[in-house]
Structure 1
Amino acid sequence: MKNSFKLFTLASSLFLGAAFTLQAEEVPLDRIAAVANTGVVLESEIQDLLKSIKQQAKNNNQDLPSDSALRVQVMDKLINDSLILQIGERMGIQVSDAQLDETLSNMARDNNLSLEQFRENIIADGLDYEQYRESVRTELISGEVRRASMQRRIYISPQEVSNLLKMMKEQSTNEVEYQLGHILIAFPAEPSQEDINAAKIRADKVIELLNNGSDFAKIAIASSSDSNALKGGELGWKTVNEMPTLFSEIIDGKDKGTILGPIRTGLGFSIVKVMDIRGKEVVEIEEVQSRHILIKPSVILSEAKAEEMLQGFLDKINAGEADFADLAKEHSEGPTSVKGGDLGWANPNSYDPAFREALARLDIDEYHKPFRSSFGWHLVQLTGRRMLDATERMNENRAYQLLYNRKLAMESARWIKETRDQAHIEVFDLEEK
């Protein structure tokens, strides 16, 4: 099995709750471990997630902190997940079974597996497939909630984009990327000077442990308040332009293994480690040209009927009995219907993931069988593919995204902190038996 599959399994376990099958033997009565607004965290969820993390850590030879420290992180994660899902429910965000099946099929395909082989591998890892399937649904909903919330909170001015573009033009094209690890020693809400001093002492202790050779990931899992704590504090690969400004100013030019901090922020003290360094890869920009027919299911048009309609259209097109553009003008519910479904040239990354994946599998002039995206059911034809050098417009888009990513980490942490501060959270002290 690919490493990416194992990593996704671990990430899903860490973020989305456990998926271990209950034994047929006697099971104690479940108990409520925490209340988060209208949601609850059950003791069984905590125990299942703890077991899942330990099993995955064993599979990956990853050290873990003490059970008590791990339980705190697991409890925080499950409380956060509950609050985020409640927000998603109020926003009306849903993931249909068809969307979920398409996502799982794409995951299987990315690992060169059939969906059945993918399912068998999940079970072989000791996970219950149906619970795993629902955890993927939860991840998709959580991702949409976070994206929608961040879009409302993060503002990028035209002047910021202009300034960054000027800086990018002055830099070398072989830009350096840093793989970062992050530990956040957070302040409580409305911290006193005593709280700040105590956090500083804890941060200094963490740096001392790291400088003496302690495992960064283990300490992050045990001590960090950042949302990436259960992933060992991993922030991934970033250029200095993608980092929060406070980080970029001190990390630029540092060597692999450098530990920096504590860095005072509005959330607490940050500790950053340069895990690795590499030269930025130069990637050409691909654009695709396509056209589609969109059918949206409704109370009077089922998912199955929408798929059946599009399959019927495809059969007629292949038989030479109908024209794609004419069918799109008559039946498509998308804004491009008046243009015969033509979507023009576009960066495929701008499309819905299911739509992007469908286009990636097509040759020019080939049709894809009907598939489901978050917008509805599609019949799509790829009509062109080309590679382009970055244009000024695309450089502007990249600059905007770099600025967005720079602000995202801090704003996301601030958002979840505000969400928790405004919520009614009650944690019950349950003794293990």
Structure 2
Amino acid sequence: MLFAKPRSYLLWALMSWAVSISAQTPASNRDFIVAVVDSVPITNHDVSLRAPQLREQLKQQGRPILEGEALLKAALERLIVEKALLQHAKELSVPIEDDAVNQAEQRLAAQNQMSVEALHKKISAEGTSVERLRQNLRDQLTLQRLTDRSVPSRIKVSDIEIDQAIRERQTASMGTNPDIELGHILIAVPEKTTDAEVLALQTKAQTVLANAKRGDDFARLAKEFSDGTERDKGGLMRLRAASQYPTLFVDATKSLTVGDVTMVRSGAGFHVLKLLTKRASSVLTVTQTHARHILLRPGGQLSQPAARAQLADYKRQIEAGKADFAKLAREHSQDGSAAEGGDLGWASPSMFVPEFEEVMNQLQPGQIADPNVSRFGVHLLQVLERREASISERELRDMARNHLREKKFDETYQLWAQEVRGRAYVEYRDAPQ
């Protein structure tokens, strides 16, 4: 599935080099060179094409939108970095096979719902040569492959960072599903007990509670007074995850500190509870999500608003019972999961890119989100179910490491790209207009 990690596909978003067929009009007679990078020129026309792409990217990322001269300057800087990276790839002899370009061309044609032959006719009619299109695709693939080769090896995650991330997770789990051990004394209230008998049993329970609070041995009190099954064990209920205790007990003790005692009433009687142990869960679990999606990739004649509108219509049809999600995914999704009806299987946290996972985590099982945008296109996403799944300590460390690498990727990429740009010869000419 294209939107899942590893982050090898991030470059499509970072470099903002999506090919737009309709945008590739011929340069005007007033075109001029605005900069030269290692003898490779960047024209005013190049900047004018890149500026709206950059503006849309900033909008999708929720960053301040640039306008006018500031937008043109930022677009030029992006192009300078790209030219420097392409020159660096040439020096390293980064190979891009013709088959890879052919596949990229086929994907582009599919996104525009046409054959490759029709795509060639269209771009030729709009003044762009097939050779220019294929070179753009080759450049995209080169930048992606160069990034895959150069950036991941620069990301360093230490054992200390992993240990800290795990400690933070364990601290967070203390407020959700810690391991606890309770001491339990049950003063049973049989069925058909009179009000007077209930009052007497309540008084007995309050006496036991008072004795436990003043420090009397809880095990002795349990053996003497409890009607519960744990009586012979001194009232001990075994150390286990809070989720394995009755909800009534968990709610009654969640605000207690170790050693505190409280009492609650249930249909079985009066329960005197003592919090004996509370710690981060020793059972390593994660919440896994089973989801499916339909992915449309804007480009050419399919704009992002059009993709959103198309997926919104699919959502209305599905919710009205007029269409089947899996059938629509098989027919229209532009993702590898299409053959499976868009089914993404069970996914642990941090398996998907953040902008996709953030939306997924907000959904209840069965719910379909409004169309949302990720770096790979526009998604119609549905969560099918969730579950708690056990993981090993090694899996937890791998998950923490991947999460930390994800967080460091953008910064590492930017530093590396600027290093490459700093080694390039850059000559500024006339300012872009």
Q: What is the TM-score normalised by the length of structure 2?
A: 0.39
Higher relative contact order (CA 8 A, sep 6+): 2
Question: Between Structure 1 and Structure 2, whose CA radius of gyration is higher?
Answer: 2
